[in-house]
Amino acid sequence: MKIGVLAVQGAAREHILCLSRLGVEAVPVLRPADLAGLSGLILPGGESTAQWRLLSRAGLLGPLQEALKEGLPAFGTCAGLILLAREITNWPERYFGVLDVVVERNATGRQVDSFEAEVKVEGLGEVPAVFIRAPAIRAVGPKVEVLGRYDGEPVLVRQSSILGATFHPELTEDLRLHEFFLNLCGKG
């Protein structure tokens, strides 16, 4: 199994290390040719507008949109979730729009408001989560399953083979969410 990690900006290195610890071939995705042969793709946290601009410059927008529409499994964390979302409440643009959720960018405040917490995840128990200027999921579509909540609000969702988290699992030692995503990729 070969998993790509968008590496134009953000926490790509951390995701690659998590996948490597699980014995999976992890490849940075920097240009369209890097999408070939992938079983899944992680869209890391970082800054969504910067990532979008860099994806555009790299010629990745069209090929990535096509791959996602064709069913390439994807895991978006923080900014990656924003890129996958159907709608962003406080931003005029829509990005890939393949995950039927409505998100609000930077809903938890500024960088100094970042925090760590335990999130109860269905089937996994308590999972450590790092929230950094995290988006909030304000609405979910009928085909979206809420897998994890924090303070009653959805923070981890799944729609078919697309997984989205408002937090950064790659900044913890816990690999269970990456394993969960790999299982989605295997079921493709």
Q: What is the pLDDT of residues 40-94, one digit of tens each?
A: 999 999 888 899 999 999 999 999 999 999 999 999 999 999 999 999 998 877 7
170 a catalytic residue: yes
Q: Annotated catalytic residue: which of 14, 15, 18, 78?
A: 78
pTM above 0.75, yes or no: yes
Residue 14, both tokens: 């951390």
Tens of pLDDT along 11-55? 999 999 999 999 999 999 999 999 999 999 999 998 888 999 999
* Catalytic one of 18, 104, 170, 178: 170
pLDDT for residue 107 is more than 70: no
Let me know: does 165 contact 83? Beta carbons within 8 Å: no
The secondary structure of residue 144, as a DSSP letter, is P
Can 15 be counted among the known catalytic residues? no
Tokens 């949109």: give the residue: 65
pLDDT tens, position by position, 113-156: 678 999 999 999 999 999 988 899 999 999 999 999 999 999 99
**Domain 2-187's class?**
alpha beta
pLDDT at 188 over 50: no
Q: Which helix (H) or strand (E) holds 77?
A: strand 74-77
Whether 66 is a known active-site residue: answer no
Report residue 111's pLDDT band, with 50, 70 and 90 as the boundaries. low
Catalytic residue among 14, 15, 18, 168: 168
For residue 111, the one-letter residue type is: Q
Mean pLDDT computed over 178-188: 87
CA atoms within 13 A on the CB side of 102: 8
